[in-house]
Chain A
Amino acid sequence: MKAALGIDTGGTYTDAVLVEQSSGAVLAGAKALTTYADLSVGIEQAVSAVLEQQALTPAEIELVGLSTTLATNAIVEERGSPVCLLLIGYDPLLIRQYGFDRELVTQDVVYLSGGHNSEGDEIAPLDEAAAREAILARRGKVEAFAVSGYFSVRNPSHELRVQALIEELCDLPVTCGHELTSRLNAVRRATTAALNARLIPLLRDLINTVRGTLDRLGITAPLMLVRGDGSLVRAEWAMRRPVETILSGPAASVLGAWHLAGRRDAWVVDIGGTTTDIAALREGRPRLNPEGAQVGRWRTMVEAVDVHTVGLGGDSLVSLDGEGRLTVGPRRVIPLCALASEYPEVVDDLRQAVQSPHRLSGQFAVAQRQTASWLSDDDRELLRELNGRPCPLHLLDQRTFGVLVMRRIEALEAHRIVLRSGFTPTDALHVLGRFDRWDAEASRLGAVLLAGQLGLTPEALSEQVVRTVSERIASELVTKVLSDEGAVPDWKQDRAAAALLDRSLGRASASDLGCSLTLRRPVVAVGAPAEVYVPPAAHLLHTESLVAPHAGVANAVGAAVGAVVQQAQVSIRPLEAGQMFRLHLPDGVRDFSSLEEGVSYACQVMQSYLQTLARQAGTDQVEVQVIRNDQIVPLALGWGQDIYLGTELIFTAVGRPSPARE
């Protein structure tokens, strides 16, 4: 039997699945905790677990698909190696004036003369001598180069020449702007190229480690990575273009939803421990954001899945806000039941808290690590107090750490040195008996503490927590759909809109006005707690909900079933009042005297270009399709027929990943 191994490293859990190639059936699935500092540890645990479940020999695994948050995390946390950004034909004064230099990712920026215009004509010769000098000066000082040229997407020749120089003078990886996108905005292209260069060593390390892990387990199948658009690429490709793997987790979950639920058009809601991701599945593929993905503070030009992320998950902290209202998230904590399973004394602490409740009762701080080089002495003392066992927060408050102790704890939390524990939706489910994996008594006591402040029974409180999560999901779906359709809601400012939303969610039963909102596509739910929270949310929006089988490991399934999809674009524009036609190809420009001559040349050349690209990306059997878009606009009355603005040819190659290893 031939199977594919799918692996997904998420914010909380790392999942692994085995999917049978021919039937698409999920043979086995397993989860391990994501080992944030070194992802490969959690990966090894999850893969070993799934191999144990299913009596499969490693030789039967034909393909390994990996979706990882490494790129996204590294970008958000501003991690990465030193890189040099070479800009060709940019205006440094304009960049500084508009503050664009803050968008360039690295401080090491070199401005070179050169560049093109929108027609692809050279506006200044490339200063090769200066490029050479800059490159030589940085040998041994940077780990990668990024090159971005003005209008390089209309004519990449200057970028290509600098790339050749770098390859000649040193052995470092180079990223060119025109390789990552064909869209305009030189600043954002530079951002994307620089981010890519910065990620190369990080992803290379991960891939090498994972490859080592797979080899140790006897798995020789080729390793492929999931890109943010849901497609797969060979590891070697991902090592050159790591920035394309951002948002691969959400993309994999949409693909997993399609594979498991069998619907080609739906809204996919993926509930994890920390966040809920909402994305659209259209015609069997994740819908992409053509404006480019925003990751952290960076506006990239990577066309990845258009996902709406909310800080709401199964392990979100449930607390009361300033006005005594129940809020869930965005902070993620260790559920009380899970904490108590590992540290039974927590139950006693909670019992004591119930006897004499305090503002911070029901929350604990747990030290993850004992020390880090940059900690202050006060922080170190604090950690020693925590001493590897959970400490009730209100006890910390009373000790001699000063009034800023909570602030200090939060700072340590931000660096993952301390984790918090508190009441979560997972605890609510334990109280209601709908989930019994951990210590339900701890959950019940936590519920008593919260319920007491609201005058409810623990069960009623738990029901309300579950209902709150479902209502939030429904309202986030509404927010996403409206935003996509150009009507971004501002629930805080727009009181009428908020009132209508409340009525649609059943929150204003005393009102004379009811409101009913209908989502016109079904909702497919994935993620471990999906079946609890999503069906009621879909019900509020009067639409069908499908909880995917194996919902808990849908991301890993998506990583195993993806296809290789490569795209390239060629634009043709009229020159000299329609006498000539200029083709903008991936390696340069070419002029023709007739449009159709240009189009057939493009089709011919791009067929083999895409075959090569697809093969490099990891598939042998490709189908290349062309979509042609002629832009012809009518002129004003009396001015003649129409004006021809140009033709876009979009080439797409799709293929199943090849099992054979080179």
Chain B
Amino acid sequence: MSDILQKIATKLYAGEEEEVAELVKSALDQGLSPSEILQGGLIAGMDEVGRDFKCGELFVPEVLVAARAMHAGMNILRPLLSKSDAQGLGKFVIGTVEGDLHDIGKNLVKMMMEGAGFEVIDLGTDVKPAAFVQAVKEHQPKLVGMSALLTTTMVAMRSTIEALNEAGVRGSVKVMVGGAPVTNDFAQSIGADAYAPDAAAAVDIARQLIA
């Protein structure tokens, strides 16, 4: 991997927002293509972040800070990327379910998924099943992710999957669920395709689901 891309990845890992932005500009000046920089610098760096987060060497604050650096780099590249590069691995619609306002976990997943090269459409919190269906219709994503942090709102995940089924579009997407009270058993009982215990796992599972 080229020298400058290696530096971008390292600085991203360390959460050095401004340096990442500078290095991305330099790389462009050097004649590297935006998608090369995205893959070899930014995504490569976030991959390391994800790996170390999964095995407990990095913690949430460090991940957030690295994600911020990622964003800084992305903001420069985004207008230069072709449509297909921007979409990258595919579209991912995410939201916290109806009646639930928690969003930290969801936001973390969003950042990790963007870092991995997905185009993320964030529906926010308290998202009704019908709104998920509308988003699938409008964006035609490959993946849908749902987050819930209350035992009382978890059931809304099932209502959403049922709404997708009833609309006839369930087969066109893969559905992932997560959130502190959620378990793999629960995910299976409600007909989800996968359960992700944390944001880094979400990325790995997402990659597997669309393979």
Note all chain B residues with C-beta closer than 8 A to A636.
Answer: 180-183
Closest to B181 in A: A639
Contact with B along A626-658 (1 / 0, CB 8 A): 000001011110011001010000000000000
**Which residue in A184, A633, A645 is a CB contact (below 8 Å) of B166?**
A184
* Distance of A577 Cα from B150 Cα, bound (Å): 10
Closest to A632 in B: B189
Contact (Cβ within 8 A) A577 B137: no
Contact (Cβ within 8 A) B186 A633: yes
Note all chain B residues with C-beta closer than 8 A to A186.
Answer: 166-168
Contact (Cβ within 8 A) B154 A118: no
Contact (Cβ within 8 A) A119 B159: yes
Cβ of B80 within 8 Å of any chain A Cβ, yes or no, is no
Contact (Cβ within 8 A) A151 B151: no
Note all chain A residues with C-beta closer than 8 A to B167.
Answer: 91, 94, 186-187
Cβ of B100 within 8 Å of any chain A Cβ, yes or no, is no
* Distance of A488 Cα from B154 Cα, bound (Å): 34
Cβ of B185 within 8 Å of any chain A Cβ, yes or no, is yes
Number of A-B contacts (CB under 8 A): 71
Contact (Cβ within 8 A) B168 A643: no
Cβ of A98 within 8 Å of any chain B Cβ, yes or no, is yes
* Chain A nearest CB, measured from B35 CB (Å): 30
Closest to A578 in B: B152
- If A118-B163, A640-B151, A645-B155 touch, whether A635 touches B181 (CB-CB below 8 Å) is yes
Cβ of B165 within 8 Å of any chain A Cβ, yes or no, is yes
Contact (Cβ within 8 A) B189 A639: no
**Which residue in B133, B151, B163 is a CB contact (below 8 Å) of A635?**
B151
Cβ of B190 within 8 Å of any chain A Cβ, yes or no, is yes
Contact (Cβ within 8 A) A645 B189: yes
Cβ of B102 within 8 Å of any chain A Cβ, yes or no, is no
Contact (Cβ within 8 A) B168 A639: no
* Chain B nearest CB, measured from A294 CB (Å): 14
Cβ of B169 within 8 Å of any chain A Cβ, yes or no, is yes
Note all chain A residues with C-beta closer than 8 A to B152.
Answer: 577
Contact with A along B130-170 (1 / 0, CB 8 A): 10010001000000000000011011001100110111111
Cβ of B129 within 8 Å of any chain A Cβ, yes or no, is yes
Note all chain A residues with C-beta closer than 8 A to B155.
Answer: 574, 643, 645
Cβ of A100 within 8 Å of any chain B Cβ, yes or no, is yes
* Chain B nearest CB, measured from A361 CB (Å): 49
Contact (Cβ within 8 A) A635 B189: no
* Chain A nearest CB, measured from B23 CB (Å): 40
- If A117-B130, A577-B152, A640-B151 touch, whether A635 touches B166 (CB-CB below 8 Å) is no
Closest to A150 in B: B166
Among all A-B residue pairs, the 8 with the closest Cβ atoms: A187-B168, A577-B152, A639-B181, A118-B162, A184-B165, A118-B159, A184-B166, A633-B186
Which A residues have a C-beta under 8 Å from some C-beta of B?
91, 93-94, 97-98, 100, 117-119, 123, 150-151, 184-188, 574, 577, 631, 633-636, 639-640, 643, 645
Enumerate 11 A-B pairs (CB-CB under 8 Å) in ascending A order: A91-B137, A98-B168, A117-B163, A118-B129, A118-B166, A184-B165, A187-B168, A633-B189, A634-B185, A635-B186, A640-B151
Q: A118-B129, A187-B167, A636-B181 are in contact. List 9 more A-B contacts (CB 8 A).
A: A94-B169, A98-B172, A118-B159, A118-B163, A184-B166, A185-B166, A185-B168, A635-B186, A636-B180
